[in-house]
Amino acid sequence: MTGPRYTELAAGLPATVPFVGPEAQERARGRAFSARLGANESIFGPSPRAVEAMARAAADGWMYGDPENHDLRHALADHLGVAPGNVVVGEGIDGLLGYLVRLLVAPGDAVVTSLGAYPTFNYHVTGFGGVLHTVPYRDDAEDPEALIAKAAEVDAKLIYFANPDNPMGSWHTAATVQRMIDALPDGCVLCLDEAYGEFAPSGTLPPIDVMHPRVVRMRTFSKAYGLAGLRVGYAVAEEALVRSFDKVRNHFGVNRVGQAAALAALLDHDWLAHVVAETSAARTRIAGMAEAMGLTPLPSATNFVTIDCGADVERARGCLESLGAAGIFVRMPFVAPQNRCIRVSVGRKQELDLLEVELPKIATTINN
């Protein structure tokens, strides 16, 4: 009996996933983490209004969600000052990235990203047979000029650029991003991942211009809005590009509960302000803990702090493993030289109290 006849492309792909989730790590270690500070989730939770909306929508779970995401899409358009035709809703930024790559990237097509940037994007590009071209970070930040230059060099169809950035927490000004847009090579699409935009300082995100045919802005309800488990994100772009998503997207991909929760969360401005304030305070506290140990916290415009462990990947890995053994889940960047760091998501008082107890105990590890 023969097995499935995979495509040549699928047969040649490695059986990997971009991330090993904390749940898998908990199963391997045989116990739960005491502090979940590695996935950049909003541990402060969703808006109470969103929780109420989820409860109401759950009773209607027998119905499919609106395949047009009409109410949420129109509310987002009002929020952003654009037309509903400029907004597409999808299963988080991860899902939308997959659709964008499917639309633009055929086997052999060139795509440009930063070495060590968000690996799920690379996963999609590889899955559709694209050829990744990477440029290194510069001073622990993505390098807009190098990305544009590389795209021109290889005739890239797509550039991925996150602002603010994960995993380093760095950010560029709106003026810098606009220069990048203005220098975009002909025929190349720029994907701006703004997942952490709500945490960024004023002047980070350029005004949305839906007249540019090759710029797509992606945002999410997974971070500041606290709905990571529901997978709701959206993209904003010129109307023709948005319409093209209808050719490939899963029209029932965003479920009814997720749509209701995202709509309620979007309208609860006070809760968003509360989360942003709590995040800022937690970042300051984490940075202080790092400095007290002689480590260097990098400036962050996100809901995490990247901490320079001061040497190389082995020291950073030792920090990560020691914290994990103490029940604190954190992550670290994948690629040198950024992998000399660990990345700690913000938490509530109880999680940070535990971190403050355990972090000094790894002094022996980082000094050996």
Mean pLDDT by 10 residues, the chain (368 residues): 88 83 90 94 97 96 96 98 98 98 98 96 96 97 98 98 98 98 97 98 96 97 98 98 97 97 98 98 97 94 96 89 94 94 97 94 66
Residue 281: both structure tokens together: 């305070």
pLDDT at position 3 is 86
pLDDT at position 88 is 98
Consecutive H or E run containing 307: strand 304-308
pLDDT at position 363 is 64
Question: Helix, strand, coil: what percent of the chain each, to 5?
Answer: 45, 15, 40
Q: Is 328 helix (H, G, I), strand (E, B) or coil?
A: strand
pLDDT at position 365 is 60
**Amino acid in position 197:** G
Domains of the chain and any CATH numbers: 20-45+270-367 (3.90.1150.10), 48-267 (3.40.640.10)
**Amino acid in position 132:** L
Q: Is 297 helix (H, G, I), strand (E, B) or coil?
A: strand
The whole-angstrom separation of Cα 66 and Cα 78 is: 19
Q: What is the DSSP string of 30-98?
A: TS--SEE-SS---TT---HHHHHHHHHHHTTTTSPPPTT-HHHHHHHHHHHTS-GGGEEEESHHHHHHH
Q: Is 232 left (phi over 0), alpha (psi -120 to 50) or beta?
A: beta
pLDDT at position 311 is 79
Has this prediction a pTM greater than 0.85? yes
**Amino acid in position 25:** Q
Q: Which of 105, 194, 100, 182 is nearest to 148 (CA)?
A: 182
